Each structure stands twice: as structure tokens, then as C-alpha cells.
Structure 1
Amino acid sequence: MKAIRESHIAVIVFSENYANSSWCLDELTYIIECKEKRGQIVMPIFYNIDPSYVRNQNGEYGEALAKHKVEHKHKLESWKKALVTAGNLSGWVTKDFQNGYEENCIKDIVGKISSTLSSQITNINEDFVGIETRLQDFKSKLEIGSGGVRMVGIWGVGGGGKTTLASVTYMEISHQFEAHCFLENIRDESSKYGLEKLQNKLLSLVLKNQQDMGGCEIERKHQIKLRLCGKSVLVVLDDVDDLKQLEALAGSHDWFGEGSRITITTRDQHLLSRRADTIYEVSLLSNDEAMKLFTKHACHKDKHVEGYEKLSLDVVSYTGGLLLAIEILGSFLYDKDKDEWKSVLAKLKDIPDAKVTERLKISYDGLERDQKDLFLDIACSLRRWRLSDAMRVLKACIFTSFYPGIGVPVLVQKSLIKVTNGKIDMHDLIEEMAHYIVREEHPNHLERQSRISQARDVEEICAMGAETLMENNHIEVLALPSYKSSWLSYVSLPRLPDVVASMKKVRLIYWQGYPSSSFPINFEPTKLGCLMLQNGHQVQLWKGYKLLPNLKILHLQGSSFLESTPDFRGVPCLERLILDYCTSLIRIDPSIGYHERLAYVSMHQCSKLEKFPSIMRMKKLETLNLSLCTKLQDLPYIGTHMDCLENLDLSGTSIKIIPESVGKFCTNLVLFDLSRCRKLKQIDGNFRLLKRLKELHLSSCDQLEKLASDFFDKECCLEVLSLQIRPSFHQDSSISTKLPQLPRFLRKLDLSWCGLGDGDIPSHLSGLLNLQVLYLCGNTFSRLDSRLSQIPCLKLLNLSNCPKLVELSDLPSSIAILKAEECDSLQSVGDLSCYKCNKLIGRERLLHSMLQPDHDQWEVFDKNKESYEHPLVGYVPFSSLRRTPCWNSASYTNVTFEIVGQYMANPKIGLVPRRSAIRECSVFWDEGSSFKRKTFEIIDDPNSSNVQIVWHHGDVAYSLREDIIWD
């Protein structure tokens, strides 16, 4: 009876002996009942029997009912009613298809059933908003009809629509298989009844019998394989959360017959990697889809109820496209007035909906203890952080053998977090669930909760008595980013020092804008691993010596009142020290020079800092950044070998001399930045010893007059070099005599603003076989040296702001991007048109090169990012387009630009008429033509970096306004 009840269509075959079976008559009665109560479709087939015999109980049917009077008298009346109803239904009479037409009858029956099913499924799909696109995408992964056995996983966050998608797909395609079954709620069923019952259920549903298998687990697996390996089956395994469940129900592809398809829904991506051939990730509903679904449930209409639009938007925004939350909240708000809607929304901010939380919490409950702690740490303090930064903090704050590098992928696989564009993120409702879990630890005792991440909670804790705090404070994480903590700056918190002092178990303090001037004397959290107080108000962190034995990260960026650092002897495990933009900092405790664990020190733009202590034992230091410490006049004294130091940034300082200790003790330097050191006069020591150096920046070193010709070792592996020696300091001789012999492995060279005139470009430049990027901006030559054409790999040449440049010829054939902006004397360079200087422009060349057949050669040429910090406008005129291979004689042209880079999420693309883009450019504009609407259209895919521009012949230009980044 269950099979009848769950069927969309019931096909009844009436034969001459049909009424002899009491079982058949019982089934008929139940089918008619399902038709009347559930709307089930009934299709009768009258096989060698006239419908009137069924309808009127004549002939064999009358005789059979007479025989049933004795044993089934109480059923007789219901049987007769069912026969009357069925006999009056439209169906097939096989007598009409005799004499060789039986095959036509069968085809007609199959066609009618298929079309009815399709129509029903279409109606069903209309109830599932947004299902059609997802259904088609998922069906494409099933590859039905392609043969073989295929297992496909559906993965996503709890309540995201995995089961819904699997169900709709099952209803639509199940009729294409010999047998099929849908095993629901495997996680719960397995926990309650065990795998043996699920295995028996699988076989009984597929084979349509109730016989249970006996034997051990191995025997049951063998039985499933034995009975199903010859059948084309569709099996859906819903809500799988353990590999053992997969092994018991779909252990291998060879368990199933040719053409079989196995669908597995789960929140755990890792499970699917063991079995599935491919994985389909269910996407959350778009805003429009979410609104449509919410309206269906909350209003029972397809349109908003007047006056509820804003409230509906608030609810949909809260759900974040999560299907389960939309359905639950929509149904709950149905038939409620505005005040009740507002009340529900206000409550949700503090207490998430219990049904939604219960479903989402399933993934959390399945984690191990360490994984749960990791998830709560991320949700309460590190959401939207860059993954690398978050991992660094987590490693510093976890004091077990558990390694975050293993735990984070597990959380991703469990659909609790995701990593998007290099940042950790999660659904808003999952974050709410995490806060709810923390609150439920001790709902009436904030001080006993493990994590505090709300400003109002801090205010409440600060109102507690000192004794209560000292005895009960269990806080492990205190996280208040600026958007949560800003208003606390305007609230009096006199008890804050007591609160901080009571946090003996705290592992992480992250408080942007920390309002207190310093930590109390009794602040000694021995487990503190990370202290981040960006933009704080401290003048000093704490007074005197303080032992924090496990502190690994000290981040005080933007603490503009901070005047001195603490004694570093009390933080023996410190690995990262960040004091960027501490504009009042004047003193670094000398103990820093003896710290043997520090690996990263950054004091960017500490504008009052005049001296960095002597470096005596900083053996593990990898990065030292003192950039824009404008009062710093001397490089720190280096008194030991610094084998780990790879990055030294002194750019923008007032350093005058680079001592020989750099060449002597820093032999593993990879990057050395001295750009904008405008007082730098000389570089002592032997730079030839820096054999690992790959980047050296000496731009805008106004007083640096000369580098020795043998400044670099012949085998130096330098790849990036910038030299900008000002011409005012070498009037007596050619600039070329001031330049060293350039390293032969250079990939990028910047000789901008060096006063290079005709004949000054170094002759050995042509021997740089790896050079790909060359900047010669702001120089005074009128023509390029012909030897530049011999550089074989040069891809980008920038000649902007060369006022005397007259012509460009003999360019390397490898050039892909040529930039020549503000070259007011430039008159000739092939057939390129002008921009900005009324003659020629580099950006047109840049965009023009993208239209060439071999443009892919430049897309990957430079691993170093080149970017424009200001909005970029580039134009490709119609006349230029017509000379490219992509143009044809058809009525329109399609050109697709791919714009890549981390800052190109929303590129601004436009097509403009030339006369509105550039003044005084009639030479490039057909005065007789006029710009007409619909000359072009832009096809911008929001899910891709591809922008397709369709030109219908006309004089138009392509405009791009955004940072362009090559990577």
C-alpha cells in the first residue's frame, strides 16, 4: 500500500479474472481512495474485457463478486463502488488494438504516462523557487544515457536545498531506470536502527519485496551487489555523514548495473572525495529567488503584500539565501501583522530561530572537540580574515597538539566555513549559531563564557563586582573588531582594568580601539598567544617587566599614542611584532636586539622613531620593515650573522650610508628596498656577497651619485632592479658611466628619470636575455637605441613622460604592451592612433594588443603584479578595430575581454562615442557619421571576469575605468 500511496500515477490492468482476487479488489479500493483524497491519477487498461463488465459487474465480474459474498461480505459494497468509479474512467481497451496493433497500444500507454509525469513534475518544480537552473546543472553531471555507473555527490550547507534538489531530480528521472529508491535521513536512520536495516530497506525498495537479508555485514554487502549488479538502478542516499554508511550501501561502482546512477547528499565534502565521480555544490538562493520563495510562504502569493516590502527585505537579508530559513520564517510569519513581524526580527538578532539552528548545528555536533574549538574561534573572532593571517593567529592561540592546517579543511568540507578569494567566511546564520552555542554554555553568567565578541557583553561584564570576576572568569577569546567596539570609546568603563586582569585563561585578545591607556600590573595571562590592539589608546602597553610566556603575536598597528615598547625579555616566544603607524613611538626597548625568536618586525611609518636598537642575537629574524620612518638616519648596528633575514625595507627613511655589515652579515637577503631614501649617499661593503638577492630598489635616491661598475656579482640572481639617479648630480659626465654592469638574469628593470639622453642607454641592455619589463619613463632621449630591438623577451616597454621622444622604431618583435603617455613630441609609431597628447597613446596600444591573435602570449609573461592606483581609461577606436583580425564583414562583431586581478571584481566597462571621449580628435572621427543608440551592447557576466562587447558597425570606442592588474 505504501508504494501505491507514494505513486503519482496508478495504472490498473483489468483482466477477465481480475475480480477473482480479493487482494486486487483491496488494492483497487485503496487506489480509488488515493484518487479522491490525494488527487492521484488513475489510468485503467481493459485487457480483453469490456469496460461495461467492470462498471456494471456483469459476466465474470458479477460471478466473482457473488463468490466473495461469503468470506468478504463487509468489503463487498466498497469493492462495487470502486469498480463503478474505475469502469467510468478513460483508459485503454485492448480489443481496439487487435490484429497486429498491440504494439501501438503499448506505445500509446507509455507515451501517455510519460507526458503526464512530465506535466506533473513541471507543476512540482514551480513550487520550488530557483530549482530549474540547479536541476539542469545537476542533471548534466549525472550524464544520464552515457552508460557506465556514475556516483554524483550533492554538497552544501545544512538547510541549503540538497535534499530538495535530489528529490526533484529523482521524481523527474526515476522512470528512466529499471528500479529506483530514495533512502531518506540516513544519518538519523543509521544512528537509530543501524546499517543492517538500511541495507534491507535499500533492497526491498529496489526489488519491491520485503525479504530481509541475514548474515554478517560482508554477506549483506555481497547480497546487494549480487542482486543489483544486473539492473540499471537510480539510488539516492540522502544525508550521509559517515563513510561506513557509503561502504554499506554503495560500496563500489561494480555493485550496480550498466547505466546506474547513485546520488549522495551530504554536508561533508571529504566523504564524497572517496566515492563520488563528481561533486555538485548547491548554491544559496539569489536575492530575487529568496524574496520570491519567502513571499510564497509568508503571503501565500507571488507578490508582496502592500506595506510589508521593507520588512520582507529585512527577513530575506537575515536568511542570506538559506532555503530552510526562508521556508521556516516565511511560514511562521504567515498571517501575522506588522508589529509581530518587527518583534520577530528584533528577537532573531539575539536568539536565532530554534528550528534553523537545530539543523545547522548538526554539522557542528559531528566535529571532534578540537575542531569545535577551532570553529568557534573562527566564527567569533576571525571571520572575513585572510586565510594566511587567520592561520597564523590560530597557531599562536592553540595550545594542544591539534594543528589548524588540518582542522580548517575539515570545517570547509563540513560546509561550516568557506574560503573565498583567500578569505575565511561563513554564512551569517552559521555565525549566529556559533554565538548561540557560546551563549548557551552559561546563559546567565557572561564571565563564564569561553568567548566574548559583543560590545554590550563587555559593558555588562564591566559592571560586575571584582570578586565575581576573579573567581569565575573563564574567557578564552575577547574579540572586538572596530565595527563592534567603536561605540565603547564613548562609554565609561572604569572597571575595564579589573576585567582584563581577571582573564587568566584568555588565549586571544583582539580589540580595535582599546580605550584604556595601559594594562594593569596584575595582568598576567599565561596562555595569551595573540594580543592585537590596533588603533588603541595606550601610551605604554604596561609598566615595567611582565612575563607573558606564550605570547607569539603582538599587533599594535595604528596606536598613535604609544610612545615606547615593553621589555621584550618578558615575551620570550614572541614571533611577530607589528607597530605600523605608531606615529608617537620614540623608543624601542634595547632588549629587542637580543630576542632570538622574533621572525617578523614591522614599524612602517613610525615617523618619530630616530633609532632602532643594535641587532645582536636576532637570529630568526626574516623580515625587518622600517619604511617611512622618516627620522631614522642610521641602519641598526648588526653584530651577528642573520642567516634568516630575507626582507629588509628601509624605503623612505633618512639613512645616509648603508654600512658594510649588510653585505657581511645579511648574505641571504632576497629583497632590499632603499627607494625614496633621499639622503642616501653611499653604499659601503661588498654587495657582491648578496648572491640570493632578487629585488633591489634604489628609486628616488636623490643624493646617490654613482654605483661601481662591479657593484653586482656576475652570477648575481637579481631579477628586479629600479635605479632612478637624478640628472642634477651628474652634469659633468654621461649617466651611463654612473650605472653598474647590470645582472644578466634581470626580468624587470626601471631606469626612469635617470636623465638618459641619446646614446646613454647602456649598451649591454641587449644582452639581458630574460628581461620582460623595461621602464624608461621621464628620460630625455629623442629616439630609442636600436639595440633595444635585440632584447628577445621584452613584453612591456614604458616610455611615458619622455618629452623629447620623436619616434619609435625598431621595437622588439616580442612587445605586447607599449605605453607612451605624455610624450608631447612623439610623431610616429606605426599605425597607432593618438590619445591625450594628440599624437599617440600607450593605453590604446595596450588594449589594441588584446585584440591580436597572439595576445595570450602577454597574459602570463610577468609574475610580478603591475597595477595602476588611479582610474584607468583606455580607448580602442573603431578605425583601429577594423584593422584587427577579429573584425569581419558581418553585421556585428563579438569581442570578449577577460579582466583579471583581485581588484577587478566590479570593473566599470563602457562604450562611448569618440567625440565625447576626446576633444580635438576629428582626424580619427568620421564627421559625417553620428553616434546612434543600440550601436553596441555590453554582456557582463557577474559570475565571471569575462566582459563581452558586441559592436554593430559604428564609430565607437571601448572604455575601461578600473585598476588593471597583470599577474
Structure 2
Amino acid sequence: MDKDHIAKILDGCDFYTIVGIQNLIDRCLVTIIDGWDKVQMHDLIRGMGREIVRLESKEPWKRSRVWHHKDSFKILTEKNGTKTIEGLVLDMHMCPTINSNEKVLETNAFSRMQELKLLHLSHVKLHGCYAKFCSGLRWLCWLEFPLDSIPVDFPLGSIIVLEMQYSGLRQVFKGTKYLLSLKILDLSHSHSLTETIDFSYCPNLEKLVLVDCTRLIYVHGSIGNLERLIYLNMKDCKKIRMLPKNICMLKSLETFIIYGCSNLKELSIEMLRNMDSLKVLETDGIPISELWLERSSSILGSLPCSLVELSLWGCNLSDDAFPMDFSNMSSLQRLNLGNNPICGLPNCIKGLARLDKLSFSMCTSLKSLLGLPRLNNLDIVDCISLEKITYQSFSLESATSFSRNNLVEWQYKYAIGSVDVENINLLGLCNLLESMAPILQKDDPIPVQGLYECGIISTFFAGNEVPGQFSHKRRGSSISFTVPLLDNHRTRGLIVFVIYVNAGYDSPIVHHTYISHIRVKNKSKGLWGAYFPSHYSIPGEGEDMIWLSHWNLYDQLEGGEEVVVSVIMKSGLLVKELGIRLVQ
């Protein structure tokens, strides 16, 4: 919530903090979250403010803020509230020792609280007339409001924020009620609500939240006249079939969420194209290609150019639903295409220079992502058919959420492919060919697989002997050696040859573990590095396996330096012998 909204609600007082630090909003460290109505405060500041309020009086009803639920309940049952109180909080679920049925809470218990501006009630039932009920309220939050409509005599003339989540409302008001000051209306999870209010009676509304109003079937056509509406959230309003056509008149709308409105029968592209200020659009779960009257290939290319965030999760979009380019959406930063039958990276995405976050989660038909733009966040979780990823450019700081499954090549990260005789020769391991001959038969349906990641090449195959060209050998899981002094040669890397066995005991062996690893330490320079392979082979019980790993150290080793190589295997796998060969 911006400062102007806060100032109008407080009107010279700072009850928004509940705890009572005077002028806290202007003078203390308060963090505005999400740009709207969430304020984060350090616990020490909150505690200090509560202590200041506590010192106002020994009696809670003489203090400006009442946040202890038992104090609030006592004030309301004894009807001894005063005009000193500016903010009051009561959640009956926070008073488990109180039987609220012993005494009925009545509306006239608030009649003496003439300066009450913030009221937060949860699971509270009141009886009586509302004519004299807190006429100066600026912010009312009443969770599980029990009535099927707000009484006509309920004084809301000064209300700026009205929150009625989980209410029993069937209709918001009976009759008409002008709410000229109302900025925020939140009726989320009101499962009995069937229609909205006539918005012409609250022309200054800026935020409307109707999340999970599962019986809502009608949105009043006057919504298009809300010139100041910035935020509209109708997530999971599953019975909504049509939206008013004049909703396209919302020129100030920045966030439009119709996620999960699965029964929506028509959605005109013109409705969205004319929303000049739209930045966030979430249409998740809506089969867009079936609803739009235009051809599906024109849908995404005709969206507002102002969009910064677009979510099309589960919209049944195939590859041909995307335009050739997204040049009209140059401001797009976050794009969610998850759970769609997409097979490859749409070409239009490659030109999104400002794209920061891209999600393909649960795109089970996705096979390749070739030419990804530079991203800070990529989500490919449950892309079970994905085999290859390449980038136009890559950031080492990028974060990725993924489950590898069939992924065999990931540029700048790893690649899995066949290791043939030529590659073995390049590694200088010609003597291995004879021992590997049974594995490398041309008619063998399962070729030896190699793994490339983090600049390290690895392969795994059956065997139990370190070849003779490995100058450093040792039984056990660790080996120490000194880099030789050679004229006009530099040691660019090393090849680690590990023989390990499945001992068949201790904890169960799990594939794709991150526990087994190789550690290389340069004792002379005090430097070390470790490699945790994402995949490795598990031999049968009592069988030997070879792990061949090629490290490119980029001239980091110099003659005379002492190096220690250690291999740590997952419990149940034992290292029998190590071999080291330096690459000059």
C-alpha cells in the first residue's frame, strides 16, 4: 500500500502498526512488500511499540491499541471501551479457554469507541443493531463474517479497506450503499457469494479480490467504469462463464488474474489488447485456443505490449499457438508456459531480451530447448522427455529447478552421450580397448555412456585393473603425488581412474545421489576442489566398476607441487584402487 493510502487511513494516527509507535511509518524501518498492503516490521520495533502502548495505562480499555485477544474479549463483554481506542483485534480461536457462548457479544459494545479506525475480527458473531457501530472505521477486516449480507445500517461511509474473507455473504449489500472512500475490497473464499456489487457505488475502487468465490456467476457490468482499478484477482472462480465486455475499458488495470476460471466460455483478444497498462496476466488452466474467437496462432502475438509477467500454465498450447516473434512484448520479464503440450522452444521467446524467469514445468512432451535467451531462473521440473538444452549466452549465477530424467545434453552444465573408441583414444587410454572390447561391440544395444559437466568428463564401465600408463597407483580411496618438473611442459589436467565395488551392505543404494564425489587438493597452494557427479553407475553386489574421470585444470598445477586425490563413495560402495595420470 502506498504512503498516500496509509496516510488517508491513519488520518494523523499510526494505528496501522497496531503497536502504537507514533509516526512509525514516516520515521522507522518499515518494508513495503509486493507494492501493496503488506508491511514487514522487525520484532524489536514491534515489541518496543507494544511497550509504549502498555505504558499508556494499566487498564487495556484506556489504551489506544488493543491487540491481546483476551483483553479485547473482556472489553466487549463488559462494554467498557473508550474513545481512546483506535485499533482493536479479536480472534476467538486465539481464546481457547473462553466459552464465547457464555456471554453474547453485542454491537453496542463498540458504541463508545468513537475513534476506532481499525477493527480486525476473526470468527466473531455480533448481535444487535449496527446503526451506531464504529462510524469512523477506515479499515475493517472481518474473517468469517456470519451474515448473508452486510446490514443496510452498517456505517461504512469512511471505509477505505474492507476485507471479508471466508464470509457467509450471498450478496454484499441489500439495496444501495455509496462507498466513495473504498479503495480495497477483498471477498476471497466467500463460497456463498453469487454476484458482485454494483461498482458504480464505489467509483474509486483500486483493488478487487474475489479469489475462490466458487459460486460467483455474475460480475456486474459497471466494473468497466472503475477508472482507478489497478488490481483484479478472480482466481478459481470456477462458475464464471462470461466476463462483461466492457472490462476492456479498465485502462488503469495492471494485474489481471483469471487463473482457474475453468468454465469461462469466451475470452475476446480485444478485451485484453485494449488494457494499455496491463503488466501481469495469469490465465492458467483456461484452454485459450478453444475460447478465443480468433485463430490460435494470433493469440499470444496480440497480447498487450505492456506485459511484464505472463502465466499460461495449463492452457493447452501447442507449438503452433506461438507467433513468429514477440517483438510487441519487449517488456516481458517472467513467462510461465508449464503443463502445455509444447515440444520445443518457441522461436518467439529467443528474442525476449528482458526475460528473466522462464518456466516449462510439467511440459511432458518437451524434447529440446535450443537457443534459450540469457536467464536468471529456468524451471524444467517434470519435463520427462527433455533431452537437450542450449543457450544463446549463459549466466553462471542462473538458478534452475529441474529433474533430469532423460536429459542428456545441457550446455555449460553437462552432457551424456556414447563413449566410442575414438574418444577413448583421445584420452590416451588405448590399452583399455582390449579390456573393454566386450562392451564396445557394434551390435551392443547399450553403448558406454559418458557424462560431461562442470568441465569434467566421466564414464563408467566394468573392470578391475588400473592400466599401466597410470604412473601413480595406490590401493584404497586416497592417493598423494608430486607434480613432476618438466621443461617446456605444463600440467593442464589429470585423469582419475577409480575401481570400486558394491559391498552389498549398509544403507540402500540410491541412483542419482550427490554423496559420492572426487576431491582434489593442492597442498602446496592450499587449494582444493570437489566434483559431485549427477549420475554414476551402480555395480551388482560383489561386482567391480571403473569410474574414469578427466579433469581440465587449466594450467593450475605446477612442477614440484604436492597433490592429494581422494574418492568418497556412498555407503555400500567401496574404493579398491586409484590411478592418476597427468595430462601435459
TM interval, shorter chain, is 0.5 to 0.7
Cross-structure match for 1:826: 386
**Residues 564 and 588, structure 1, Cα contact 8 Å, conserved in 2:** no
Aligned pairs (5 A) from 1:372-411: 392-393=14-15, 403-404=23-24
Matched, 1:817 2:385: no
Change (3 A) 1:731 1:627: closer
User: Pick from 287, 290, 300: which aligns with 1:730?
Assistant: 290
Residue 662 (1) aligns with residue 223 (2):
yes
Quote the residue 1:839 is aligned against.
406
1:570 maps to 133
CA distance in 1, matches of 2:220, 2:343: 39
Alpha carbons of structure 1 residues 913 and 425: separation in structure 2 relative to 1, 3 Å: same
Aligned equivalent of 2:241: 681
Counterparts of 1:441-840 in structure 2 under 5 Å? Answer: 450-452=56-58, 475=59, 478=60, 503=61, 505-512=62-69, 519-520=76-77, 522-535=79-92, 541-543=105-107, 546-557=111-122, 559=123, 561-562=124-125, 567=130, 569-580=132-143, 582=144, 584=146, 586-592=148-154, 595-606=156-167, 608-613=168-173, 616-643=177-204, 645-653=205-213, 654-664=215-225, 666-714=226-274, 716-727=276-287, 730=290, 735=296, 741-762=302-323, 765-811=326-372, 813-830=373-390, 836-840=403-407
* SS of match in other structure, 1:705: coil
**Contact persistence 1:521–1:543 (CA under 8 A):** no
| Contact 1:817–1:845 (CA under 8 A) maintained in structure 2 | no
Change (3 A) 1:710 1:766: same
Q: Assess if the C-alpha contact under 8 Å between 2:389 and 2:411 holds in 1.
A: no
1:264-275 mapped onto 2 (5 Å cutoff): none
State the TM-score, normalized to the length of structure 2: 0.59
Change (3 A) 1:845 1:634: farther
- Render the CA deviation track for 1:427-447: whole Å, top value 9, x for unaligned: 99x899989x95xxxxxxxxx
TM-score, structure 1 normalization? 0.37
Cα distance in 2 between the residues matched to 1:696 and 1:764: 23
Residue-by-residue CA offset, 1:409-462 (whole Å, 9 max, x unaligned): 8xxxxxxxxxx973151699x899989x95xxxxxxxxxxx534xxxxxxxxxx
Taking the aligned partners of 1:521 and 1:427, their CA distance within structure 2 comes to 28
CA deviations over 1:198-228 (Å, ceiling 9, x no partner): xxxxxxxxxxxxxxxxxxxxxxxxxxxxxxx
1:226-253 deviation digits (Å, cap 9, x = unpaired): xxxxxxxxxxxxxxxxxxxxxxxxxxxx
Residues 571 and 919 of structure 1, relative CA distance in 2, 3 Å threshold: same
The 2-side partners of 1:954 and 1:663 are apart by 69
CA contact (8 A) 1:818 1:846 kept: no
| Cα distance between partner residues in 1 of 2:345 and 2:375 | 14
- 1:850-886 superposed Cα distances (whole Å, 9 cap, x missing partner): xxxxxxxxxxxxxxxxxxxxxxxxxxx99532379xx
Structure 2 Cα separation of the partners of residues 604 and 761 of structure 1:
38
RMSD between aligned alpha carbons?
4.8
- Offset, 1:737: 7.0
Which of residues 44, 58, 73 is equivalent to 1:425?
44
1:823 shift after superposition: 1.3
Shift of 1:578: 1.1
What is the identity, as a one-letter code, of the residue corresponding to 1:648?
A: L
Query: How many angstroms apart in 2 are the aligned matches of 1:678 and 1:838?
Result: 34
Q: Distance in 2 between matches of 1:793 and 1:727?
A: 27
- How many Å separate the matches in 2 of 1:719 and 1:846? 33
In structure 2, the CA distance between the partners of 1:914 and 1:642, relative to structure 1 (3 Å rule), is farther
CA-CA distance at 1:579 after TM superposition: 1.5
Residues 534 and 770 of structure 1: CA distance in aligned 2, closer, same or farther (over 3 Å): same
Task: Classify 1:878/1:656 alpha carbon distance in 2 versus 1 (closer, same or farther; 3 Å).
Answer: same
How far did residue 535 of structure 1 move? 3.1
- What is the distance in 2 between the residues matched to 1:605 and 1:841? 48
- Other structure's SS at 2:119 match: strand
Flag the 1:846–1:679 CA change in 2: closer, same or farther, 3 A: farther
1:712–1:652 Cα change, 3 Å: same
Q: Contact conserved, 1:710 with 1:740, CA < 8 A, in 2?
A: no
Cα distance in 2, alignment partners of residues 509 and 677 from structure 1: 36
Structure possessing the higher relative contact order (Cα contacts under 8 Å, 6 or more residues apart): 2
Do the aligned partners of 1:524 and 1:548 also contact (CA within 8 Å) in 2?
yes
The answer to whether the 8 A contact 2:292-2:299 is kept is no
Matched letter for residue 111 of structure 2? K
* Superposition deviation, residue 516 in structure 1: 5.1
1:795/1:817 contact within 8 Å kept: yes
Whether the aligned pair in 2 keeps the contact of 1:565 and 1:588 (CA below 8 Å) is: no
By percentage of residues, which structure has more strand?
Answer: 2
Instruction: State the alpha-carbon separation in 2 of the partners of residues 529 and 753 from structure 1.
Output: 47
Partner SS for 2:66: strand
Q: How far is the alpha carbon of 1:600 from its aligned partner?
A: 1.1
Alignment partners' CA distance in 1, 2:27 and 2:111: 33
Q: Match of 1:393, as an amino acid?
A: F
Contact 2:379 2:402 in 1 (8 A): no
Contact 1:772–1:794 (CA under 8 A) maintained in structure 2: yes
Letter in 1 for 2:403: K
Mapped to 2, the partners of 1:627 and 1:427 lie a distance apart of: 28
Is 1:881 the counterpart of 2:454? The answer is yes
More helix by proportion, 1 or 2? 1
For 1:826 and 1:407, how far apart are their aligned partners in 2?
53
- The alpha-carbon deviation at position 404 of structure 1 amounts to 4.8
1:451 is matched by which residue type in structure 2? S
Secondary structure of 1:808's aligned partner: strand
Cα separation, 1, equivalents of 2:46 and 2:223 = 49
541 and 882 in structure 1: CA distance in 2 versus 1, 3 angstrom threshold = farther
Query: For 2:567 and 2:362, how far apart are their aligned partners in 1?
Result: 29
- Quote the Cα distance in structure 1 between the aligned partners of 2:535 and 2:263: 43
Q: CA deviation at 1:506?
A: 4.0
Residue 880 of structure 1 aligns to which amino acid in structure 2? E
Provide the C-alpha distance between the structure 2 equivalents of 1:655 and 1:847, rounded to a whole number of angstroms: 49
Identity of aligned residues (%): 18
Quickly say closer, same or farther: Cα 1:564–1:610, change in 2 above 3 A: farther
Match of 2:515 in 1: 912
Cα 1:562–1:740 change in 2 (3 A) is farther
Q: 1:622 to 1:840 in 2, by over 3 A?
A: farther
Tell me how far apart the structure 2 counterparts of residues 911 and 510 of structure 1 sit (CA, whole Å).
49
SS of 2:378's equivalent? strand
Distance 1:640 1:526, change over 3 A: same
- Deviation (angstroms), 1:754: 0.3
Distance of 1:586 and 1:686 partners within structure 2: 29
How far off is 1:799 after superposition?
0.7
Q: Once the two structures are superposed, what CA deviation does each residue of 1:141-164 show, in whole Å capped at 9, x if it has no partner?
A: xxxxxxxxxxxxxxxxxxxxxxxx
Residue pair 2:309, 2:334 contacting (<8 A) in 1 also: yes
Counterpart Cα distance in 1 of 2:202 and 2:51: 51
**What is the letter of the counterpart of residue 277 of structure 2?**
C
SS at match of 1:661: helix
**Higher Cα radius of gyration:** 1
